[in-house]
Amino acid sequence: VTNEDFLPVIEVDETYPGSIYHDFHWLLKVACTWDDVKWLRQDMEKSLSSSAVHFRIKLLQAAAQMQTALSIQDLGQLYHKPLRDSEGTIVICTVNYTHSPKSISVLNSRWLPLGKLSKRAPPSPDANISEILMSTIQEQITYHQVSSIRLHRGLYLSYLKMRSCVDLLQVLVPAKSPNVPPHCKIRDNPHVTAEEWRALVGGAVSEHQKCFVEQVAATARRLFTYMEVSAEEATVHRLYDLETVEVSPEVSLLMVVPPVDSACSVPGQRETLLQRPDLLPLPVQVFEMVHLGTYRHQVVSRYSRLSCIIELDMALAQHSQREAFSSSELTVAKERLARLEALQVQLNAAWKQSRWLLDVLAFARDRLSHSPTSMRHLLAHNTKRSRDQMDTQNGLLQPPDPKAVKSRGSWPG
């Protein structure tokens, strides 16, 4: 903290766009490649002058100043939302963990025990941004710690719930495990055989497959209990039957979605589920970055860097095309822009292969799709309490062990 017992803060600008989330989601990608801040800012400043780019330049300038002030390059992970007070002041927070406090060199600053900051009272509705920032420090640290914890090896049943706001779509996640949807564990083996899949979606069931279907049914009952879904409502839920979601070689998900009419809450609609403190609504873009950053870190890092580079080069190419004077200059500019657009298409296609959530979202909201597998079919099976099922009774979300959080291990999900 500074001598005033306040976190290091650098002003970005006196004004900001009406919808800041587009720039915030762009900054999420920059946060995967903090080493590129300097040259990104320089290239933007040299050739671009639009109002949209102006604010991004300001963001990069503030990031570079913070890097210089703290004598570090990696500013850490962005908190999942910008903090905002009643007067409209916004703070974008980053959280990072350092193994050596001596590596952070800041004038007129000192390290302060977290306990002294955590004693501050929760902010009132009319609190200013300073009070909000300081009172949410523990919440931000906890989010940073738990968002990188992986699930244990296994097959899980997950629940999709959406909420639409004015300018973004959110998905509901557990506050204790924000990198995956709400879930319960089915078994340790993450793989589903073709025979098991056919039995799951209503095909012929042998004795072995019957055991698997009963495991899924038992897990579904526990998941519905956790999500406060009544027995009657549970029967009209649907199983995402297009594929098994392979999160990683060690973790796979079967997805359950509500009926089309209740899959997505709209502004003004109050649901008990959305008021629970143990559940957190995350914008789709934020969830994808946190999820893939945990399970496909190399993929999301490479995508973020390439996306920032191509997006900037395309803006520069469009600028050159507008300012081309001769026909030869115009031809060169058009060819360069065409090559960049082709690269953008290839990058988006590769990125889409990792974005399984978009397919599930489309399935959940599609009224014209084929008749999906109803949970009524699964819940009709009698529960067979095998040893594996008894072992998964603790599959409901539990607070992670403090040692696991501290060491960033994994905890039973």
pLDDT confidence of residue 409: 35
Mention every residue, 6+ apart, whose C-beta is less than 8 A from residue 31.
75, 76, 77, 78, 94, 304
pLDDT confidence of residue 410: 32
Helix (H) or strand (E) holding 312: helix 297-323
CA atoms within 13 A on the CB side of 139: 17
| Pairing mode, strands 245-248 and 251-257 | antiparallel
pLDDT confidence of residue 49: 63
The CA radius of gyration of the chain, in Å to the nearest whole number, is 24
One digit per residue, the tens of pLDDT, for the chain of length 413 reads 887 888 889 999 988 888 889 999 999 999 999 999 998 898 888 766 666 688 899 999 999 999 998 888 999 999 999 999 988 899 999 999 887 777 777 777 888 888 877 666 666 777 889 889 988 999 999 999 999 999 999 999 999 999 998 788 999 999 999 999 999 999 999 999 999 999 998 776 788 888 999 999 999 999 999 999 999 999 999 999 999 999 999 999 999 999 998 899 887 777 888 889 999 999 999 999 999 999 999 999 999 999 999 988 888 888 788 877 888 888 888 999 999 999 999 999 999 888 999 999 999 998 876 667 889 988 887 654 444 444 444 444 444 444 444 433 333 33
pLDDT confidence of residue 50: 63
Structural tokens at position 97: 């963990």
Question: What SS3 string covers 93-115?
Answer: CEECCCCCHHHCCCCCECCCCHH
Pick from 278, 266, 13: which is nearest to 163 by CA?
A: 266
How many Å apart are CA 278 and CA 350, to the nearest integer? 34
**Residue 64 buriedness (CB in 10 A; 0-12 / 13-18 / 19+):** middle
Residue 264 β-bridge partners:
162
DSSP character for 329?
H
- CA distances to 161, 309, 311, 319 from 332, rounded to whole Å, are 48, 20, 18, 13
Residue 83 β-bridge partners:
91
